[in-house]
Structure 1
Amino acid sequence: MSQKSSRSPTLNKPFSWFKKTKTLNNILFSMKLQNPQFKSNNLDQPNINKTQNLDDPNQLNDEILIKILSRVPEAHKNPNYLVSKQWLNLQGRLVRSVRVLDWDFLVSGRLFSRFPNLVHVDLIHGCFNFDSPPKICILLNLDFGSFHVDLDYLNDGLCVLSSEEVDLGLKVLANGYPNLRKLAVVNASEIGLLSIGEECLILQELELHLCNDRVLCGIAVFRNLQILKLVGSVDGVYDGLVSDVGLTILAQGCKRLVKLELRGCGGSYDGIKAIGQCCQMLEELSFSDHRIEDGWLSALSYCDNLKTLRFVSCKSIDRSPAIDRDMGVCPALERLHMEKCQLRQKRSVRALFLLCRSARELVFNNCWGLTDDIFGTGKICRRVNSLSLEGCSRLTVEGLASAIFYWNDLESLSVTSCSNIKDSEVTPELATLFSALKKFTWKADTRSLLSASLVGTGMGKRGKIFGKK
């Protein structure tokens, strides 16, 4: 009995020898050395750890992170700035276009340290100086931006930085961004333009506000300039003066221009003629609220390669155009665009149609004074294949038909919000012409369409039911 009792604990606990951990460790170690499977696992273990470290973005170098961040959609890029300071700096290196709102941000050099690879800089908002926040805030909407201003600024005009301050900022900008391609600025002088032109040799697009003849003396340094916008005067904002002198300097200095926009600029026949003769590559020319002297329109015939002619917010085109035989023609013109212009003078509009008689596309948006008689002069443009009318309230079906029946190549017609063009006045001949068009949009009398859609709904009754007692 004593022998059985002495062996029973060992038999009941067959794994009691595991308590000798030192012996167990020696056995396991010898097994790992003899078994190649254990060796491979031990060798692969560091690689597994390395793979796990790659899941941490902080372990990636800047080049890889930039490639990853550049593929993030635009709608999801802003939260990347909040991840870390490293991501903030890397995201700034991907930014190519910036609108500067604070001038000190540029002059202090923080713009370059924050966004080192910019190619497009808009300084327009930063050039307006508001020393104190407005007491009575008014939102002033302009074509080039919106401003929160005080009543005092409306009375005294917007406060623009001086030319010296603007030139200093342009010098800082030129030293930091030699690869700049697009720039917009207000009240720069010829010295500021020279500093940009000497450093930014590949600048292709320039927008100058509060421009004058003296400023244009420095524009000849931009040899590769292709797109130029000059803003002389803006009603209620600032008043600049661009005359034939400035237009001639522009024409002789920027001969590679492809697109030119003149807003609030003066001049005459001679200045426009110089542009046409010198800028042989010019394809698009725009006039906005122009102040050019009468008799200038025929000078556009010197623009041999002009393809698009645009008028926006012009009170008149040319009150005293040349006679028909001296008007000339733009031989390569393809598109005539009129927007928010006053077309009340038949002689002026007829001269414009005569100049653009080779155009294939005509666009009239919200033009005042375009009557049947005036629009009928467009029948001399026999090559028209596309016509777009919007907001021309004085034009009727009769006036529309007086011109389009002469356009045998017409393929596209769009009529929108022209209240005097009635569906009931469309003749069978005109309906047949419409059916042969490749593209046809007809929303002329929007009021009648709205009334027809409200039939049976009880709406549009002018409160008739509620007015009863």
Structure 2
Amino acid sequence: MSVLEENPDSPLKKRPPRWSDIWLKKTKPLKHVVFAMQLQSLASKDPKSQTLIPHFANIDRTLLLSDELLLKILSKLPLSQRNPNSLVCKRWLNLQGRLVRSLKILDWNFLVSGRLITRFPNLAHVDLLNGCLFSPRNSGILLTHRMVSMQMRYGNCSNWELLEENLLPVEVVDGGLQALANGCPNLRRLVVINASELGLLTLAEECLTLQELELHKCNDNVLRGIAACENLQILKLVGNVDGLYCSLVSDVGLTILAQGCKRLVKLELSGCEGSFDGIKAIGQCCLMLEELTICDHRMEDGWLAALSYCENLKTLRLLSCKRIDLDPGPDEYLGFCPSLERLYLQKCQLRSKKSLRALFRVCEAVREVVVLDCWGLDNDMFTSASVCRRVKFLSLEGCSLLTTERLEATVLSWLDLETLVVVSCKNIKESDISPALATLFCNLKELRWRPDAKSLLSLSLMGTGMGKKGGKFFKRT
């Protein structure tokens, strides 16, 4: 008989494994739970061991939770609590950094040093616009533009010279783009200024999921790099900005862009030059384009006719344009956008009746028309809007030259009109409202009528049902 059999109480004899030992063998968090339960049981049985309670109270119980579980908990908290939560400990600081998806970079060294990627590894939206500007600290002069805000050393130079002096070199910007592309392969949106073709090519090769790009100080050569972003869907190009910087985007760049970015859904051209050929190329190649915004354009005459090639275009926006198209050509060459639903005109100078007539001719299938603070829109110009016979929504704000008679003649020809908004149009008088126009008001689904500060129509019509479909304006006495 062996020694172990003769002495069953020998410490050398192996006891059979317990089920709890097997279950807890590779479960580290559960061991912490068991240890905490043991401390509680010892403290409750032995009054002399109450000194264990303070040590147990100082234990960080969040250590029992995995990073994935704690991330789910932190992601459910409001955004206002993220900064305070990051001050709890280093672990929470790192976890909060993994939750950040959007960031505006103000310090370029934070990007090129690698600290950005380490601190925020899951970034999807990055704004580098202000980070590309070198501005002196503790300066008492602040230059604020609608796009950028920077400090100045002195104020005896133009804005253009100041921006060129404080703008990071192209090579430095490209280096930052390369660092960003290597660290954020899942980048989806980017805003940058003064980048080159090589920097954008690196970005296109590494960030295959890039879908939205806003590029300032853009030119034709830079667009060669943008054309490599095959999955790009939203693009904003800023070429020339009065008083800030000058850059050229012509038909050459627009053609390169159209042949490379064929999945574009939204396109905004700000301060860009071009003509019929550039817009035509975009319409023929970007078949998924649904929204086109043109801001402060420098395009040659005749570009309006190219909009008819954008067969799937649904929204057309013209913002801050000093002119529309002074020589659009004959009507038979204009064509029209068959899928267009919305037309927005904001802060545009409507100097030519011929150009505005051509615009409405191209947009004759539109359902919504919004005119906001456009200079020069008078009765003769607004007459051309009668060609848009499918309008359901009309909003006029800041049209001081338009009168009630012209408004009435136009809206009465739109049989599908459902919503009318008239705000700050001082020549539209309530005293000029005819019974026919009042009947139209009665059949509308929505009416906002504040042509001037003295307008009392909205107050006097309370309780009459006016502005609601099927309501009655006149009551029998």
Q: Out of 106, 112, 118, which is 1:107 matched to?
A: 112
Query: Residue 110 of structure 2 aligns to a residue in which SS?
Result: helix
Name the count of aligned residue pairs: 409
Check if 1:227 corresponds to 2:234: yes
Query: Residue 287 of structure 1 aligns to a residue in which SS?
Result: strand
Query: Residue 317 of structure 2 aligns to a residue in which SS?
Result: strand
The structure number with the bigger radius of gyration is 1
Partner of 1:56: 61
Q: Out of 82, 85, 96, which is 1:80 matched to?
A: 85
CA distance in 2, matches of 1:418, 1:196: 48
Q: Out of 62, 65, 72, which is 1:67 matched to?
A: 72
Asked if the contact 1:358/1:383 (under 8 Å) is kept, the reply is yes
Q: What is the CA deviation profile of residues 327-381 of structure 1, one whole-angstrom value per residue up to 9, with x for unaligned ones?
A: 1000000000011101121001000000000000000111110101111110000
CA distance in 1, matches of 2:157, 2:177: 26
CA distance in 2, matches of 1:81, 1:289: 44
How much does 1:61 deviate?
Answer: 3.0
Partner of 2:155: 151
Asked if the contact 2:108/2:132 (under 8 Å) is kept, the reply is yes
Partner of 2:358: 351
CA distance in 2, matches of 1:248, 1:196: 21
Partner of 2:129: 124
Q: Which amino acid aligns with 2:79?
A: E
How much does 1:47 deviate?
Answer: 8.5
Long gaps (5+) in structure 2: 1-34, 42-52, 461-477
CA distance in 2, matches of 1:223, 1:48: 61
Percent of aligned positions with the same letter in both sequences?
60
- 1:195-214 aligned at under 5 Å gives the runs 195-214=202-221
Asked if the contact 2:135/2:150 (under 8 Å) is kept, the reply is no
RMSD of equivalent CA atoms: 2.3
Check if 1:95 corresponds to 2:100: yes
Check if 1:369 corresponds to 2:376: yes
Distance 1:107 1:436, change over 3 A: same
CA distance in 2, matches of 1:307, 1:272: 16
How much does 1:295 deviate?
Answer: 1.1
CA distance in 2, matches of 1:54, 1:425: 79
Partner of 1:46: 38
Partner of 1:22: none
CA distance in 1, matches of 2:131, 2:414: 50
Check if 1:237 corresponds to 2:244: yes
Check if 1:265 corresponds to 2:257: no
Partner of 1:278: 285
Partner of 2:177: 170
Q: Out of 434, 439, 442, which is 1:435 matched to?
A: 442
Partner of 2:420: 413
CA distance in 2, matches of 1:207, 1:393: 35
Q: Which amino acid aligns with 2:38?
A: P
Distance 1:309 1:54, change over 3 A: farther
Q: Which amino acid aligns with 1:82?
A: L
Distance 1:153 1:122, change over 3 A: farther
Distance 1:45 1:104, change over 3 A: closer
Distance 1:397 1:148, change over 3 A: farther
Partner of 2:314: 307
Q: What is the CA deviation profile of residues 239-278 of structure 1, one whole-angstrom value per residue up to 9, with x for unaligned ones?
A: 1100110000001011111110000000111111111111
Asked if the contact 1:297/1:318 (under 8 Å) is kept, the reply is yes
Asked if the contact 1:93/1:116 (under 8 Å) is kept, the reply is yes
Distance 1:152 1:132, change over 3 A: farther
Q: Out of 123, 138, 145, which is 2:142 matched to?
A: 138
Q: Which amino acid aligns with 2:277?
A: D
Q: Which amino acid aligns with 2:142?
A: I
TM superposition score normalised by structure 2: 0.82
Asked if the contact 2:213/2:234 (under 8 Å) is kept, the reply is yes
Q: Out of 395, 404, 408, which is 1:401 matched to?
A: 408
CA distance in 2, matches of 1:255, 1:405: 41
How much does 1:46 deviate?
Answer: 2.8
CA distance in 2, matches of 1:45, 1:148: 59
Distance 1:433 1:194, change over 3 A: same
Which deviates further from its counterpart, 122-131 or 179-188? 122-131
How much does 1:147 deviate?
Answer: 3.5
Q: What is the CA deviation profile of residues 179-222 of structure 1, one whole-angstrom value per residue up to 9, with x for unaligned ones?
A: 11111100100000010000001111111100000101112211
Distance 1:134 1:399, change over 3 A: farther
Asked if the contact 1:419/1:447 (under 8 Å) is kept, the reply is no
CA distance in 1, matches of 2:438, 2:39: 77
Distance 1:233 1:44, change over 3 A: closer
Asked if the contact 2:239/2:246 (under 8 Å) is kept, the reply is yes
CA distance in 1, matches of 2:82, 2:156: 39
Q: What is the CA deviation profile of residues 140-170 of structure 1, one whole-angstrom value per residue up to 9, with x for unaligned ones?
A: 131x343344524645231211111110000
Query: Residue 86 of structure 2 aligns to a residue in which SS?
Result: helix
Partner of 1:287: 294
Query: Residue 373 of structure 1 aligns to a residue in which SS?
Result: helix
Asked if the contact 2:133/2:150 (under 8 Å) is kept, the reply is no
How much does 1:86 deviate?
Answer: 1.8
Asked if the contact 2:308/2:335 (under 8 Å) is kept, the reply is yes
Q: Which amino acid aligns with 1:46?
A: Q
Query: Residue 111 of structure 1 aligns to a residue in which SS?
Result: helix
Query: Residue 103 of structure 2 aligns to a residue in which SS?
Result: strand
Partner of 1:40: none
Distance 1:64 1:392, change over 3 A: same
Asked if the contact 2:136/2:151 (under 8 Å) is kept, the reply is no
TM superposition score normalised by structure 1: 0.83
CA distance in 2, matches of 1:54, 1:280: 61
Asked if the contact 1:138/1:151 (under 8 Å) is kept, the reply is no
How much does 1:55 deviate?
Answer: 7.7
Q: Which amino acid aligns with 2:116?
A: L
Distance 1:44 1:210, change over 3 A: closer
CA distance in 1, matches of 2:157, 2:118: 33
Distance 1:395 1:148, change over 3 A: farther
